[in-house]
Amino acid sequence: MKLSFIRYLILSLLFMGCLAWVSCSKELSATGNPTTYTIQFTDVVGIAPLKLDTVYTNTLNQEFLVSAFKYYISDIELYSKNGKVISLQGIYHLVDASDSTTMAVSFPAPVDSLTAFSFLIGLDSAIDISGNQNGDLNPSKGMYLSRTDGYIMAKLEGISPSSTAQGYQFNYDINGFAGPENVLRRVTFALPGIPLNLNPIIPDTVVISLDADVDAWFQGPHLLSINQYPTCITPGALASDYADNYADMFTLRNVQVK
């Protein structure tokens, strides 16, 4: 009798443990403790890490070196398996190749069964004309034009022997937030291991690593030669073409849950 009771107790504990494991492993809705998400950016040229003031050759066989490379991301959205969209307002982050501390952005969001995420390259019209100039929107960052013109959404500057501009410089300050030729572009990434199931009890840290390829600025939907286009600093069709190209510069390298 005593042995049977012990056996019963052990089986009961095992059964309860199995129930707890199943409960923690099920797909989750947007409840529980917030999870920390980090998007980690690595600037590259092809497969080589970008180093400022270093000579590279683009896919058009033109040598160039980069002296400045910056871009805004904003309006991050997380997509769940059940079709729910978690929209994260108020995140405006400037990635600057000259400042290693800007190569990641972190934010809290509810846990969920995530399948994809997206963000806007640039800043929407409301921010451009709002006069909000704090943090990464501060004019000292070198991306603000005026209350009328708003912000530079993405910047690429450097020197190339292919450039016909003075001092062999090339300068792409891509801006324009209104009209059919605006340069706002939303990019979306499917997450590997769909869906990404997170723990509702113990908050996870999700690290999403993206590569940003400078070479995409010169080729993609449009072939944009440094020789033919050494400068683009005003809104219009050319700026929109550059935005089409750099919308393809991101590659999802990996996702880690810690």
pLDDT tens digits, 37-61: 999 999 999 999 999 999 999 999 9
Q: Is residue 19 part of a domain?
A: no
Q: Is residue 110 part of a domain?
A: yes
- Backbone phi, then psi, for 176, in 5-degree steps? 125, 105
pLDDT at 51: 98
Q: Is residue 2 part of a domain?
A: no
pLDDT at 205: 83
Q: Is residue 25 part of a domain?
A: no
Residue 215 pLDDT > 80? yes
pLDDT tens digits, 56-111: 999 999 999 999 999 999 999 999 888 889 898 889 999 999 999 999 999 988 76
| CA proximity to 117, closest of 184, 44, 192, 43 | 192
Q: Which domain range does residue 196 map to?
A: 34-257
pLDDT at 12: 42
Quote the percentage of the chain above a pLDDT of 70.
80
Least confident of 6-10, 103-107, 114-118: 6-10
Q: At 201, is the pLDDT very low, low, confident or very high (cuts 50, 70, 90)?
A: low
Q: Is residue 60 part of a domain?
A: yes
Q: What string of DSSP letters covers 27-86?
A: ---S-SSPEEEEEEEEEEETTEEP-TT-EEE-TTS-EEEEEEEEEEEEEEEEEETTS-EE
- Share of the chain residues as helix, strand and coil, in percent rounded to the nearest 5: 20, 40, 40
Q: Is residue 142 part of a domain?
A: yes
Q: Is residue 3 part of a domain?
A: no
pLDDT at 203: 61
Q: Is residue 24 part of a domain?
A: no
pLDDT tens digits, 87-98: 988 899 999 999
Q: At 124, is the pLDDT very low, low, confident or very high (cuts 50, 70, 90)?
A: confident
Residue 190 pLDDT > 70? yes
Q: How many domains does the chain have?
A: 1
Are 156 and 172 contacting, i.e. CB atoms less than 8 angstroms apart? yes
Determine the 3-state secondary structure of 177 from DSSP: coil
Planar angle of CA 50, 43, 124, nearest 5 degrees: 140
